[in-house]
Chains A and B, each alone.
Chain A
Amino acid sequence: GAGVSQSPRYKVAKRGQDVALRCDPISGHVSLFWYQQALGQGPEFLTYFQNEAQLDKSGLPSDRFFAERPEGSVSTLKIQRTQQEDSAVYLCASSLERTGELFFGEGSRLTVL
């Protein structure tokens, strides 16, 4: 596709449920980032992939958060045993190179009840 595609756009989960958020980056983009954006805040870094290698996961808030990009294209962010504080918009961005322009998806808005 022409841009970064994320699904689902909206997800409502009960506390304790597991969720999976998908990101389909722009074809050929080596770098893929996940960010978390809470209401009224800027995007906060979660994790970074270069192709299939997860080179930085320093921003993942707990071991309930897990991300993968097994074939170097589509990525999935999984949150286990969701908590209310996980409610946020999860943004995926891809880039041709590590420090270039980021192309963002529209985000997945997660609401945990």
Chain B
Amino acid sequence: AQSVSQHNHHVILSEAASLELGCNYSYGGTVNLFWYVQYPGQHLQLLLKYFSGDPLVKGIKGFEAEFIKSKFSFNLRKPSVQWSDTAEYFCAVSPLNSGTYKYIFGTGTRLKVLA
């Protein structure tokens, strides 16, 4: 079955620390990849996406992610986190040509940034 794994469930960092959140998926075909963020009290919103082309994609607020096809991974990075990055982060996969319409989400990573 198709699935998405996020390895870190809770991450605590100090401001200015670097961030990397892991995401692996299980699907052998072509995928669209996403990272969504949910700030406290707000709805899920798109952070960045990968459809094709350059595997290093840049999103809002200084976030970036790298698609490594051979590793089925789409890890999220930010060189220097801010207190305002405190949120829950979800990796999601849309398998193409799979006969399914679903987007598959990971279980999320709660990031707390200490001021």
- Given A42-B90, A43-B90, A91-B44, A102-B103 contact (CB < 8 Å): yes
Stretch of A13-21, A66-74, A104-112 contacting B (4+ beta carbons < 8 Å):
A104-112
Tell whether B12 is near chain A: CB-to-CB under 8 Å. Answer: no
A4 contact set on B, CB distance < 8 A:
43
What would 26 A/B residue contacts be, using CB atoms closer than 8 Å? A33-B101, A33-B102, A40-B108, A41-B107, A42-B106, A42-B107, A42-B108, A43-B44, A43-B90, A45-B103, A45-B104, A48-B101, A55-B101, A58-B102, A91-B44, A99-B32, A100-B32, A101-B46, A102-B36, A102-B44, A102-B92, A104-B36, A104-B44, A104-B45, A105-B43, A106-B43
Per the CB 8 Å criterion, the residue count for chain B at the interface is 24
Asked if B102 contacts A59 (CB within 8 A), the reply is yes
The answer to the question of A11 belonging to the interface, with a C-beta cut-off of 8 Å to chain B, is no
Interface digits, A28-43 against B, CB 8 Å rule (1 contact, 0 not)?
Answer: 0000010100001111
- Rounded to whole angstroms, the CA-CA distance of A98 and B8 in the bound complex is 29
Q: Does B49 contact A (CB under 8 A)?
A: yes
Q: How far apart sit A33 and B92, CA to CA, in the bound complex (Å)?
A: 14
Minimum distance in angstroms from B3 CB to a CB of chain A: 10
Most buried by B among A41, A58, A99: A99
Q: Which residues of A contact B46 (CB under 8 A)?
A: 101-102
Q: Mark B77-110, 1 if CB is under 8 A from A, else 0.
A: 0000000000000101010100011111111100
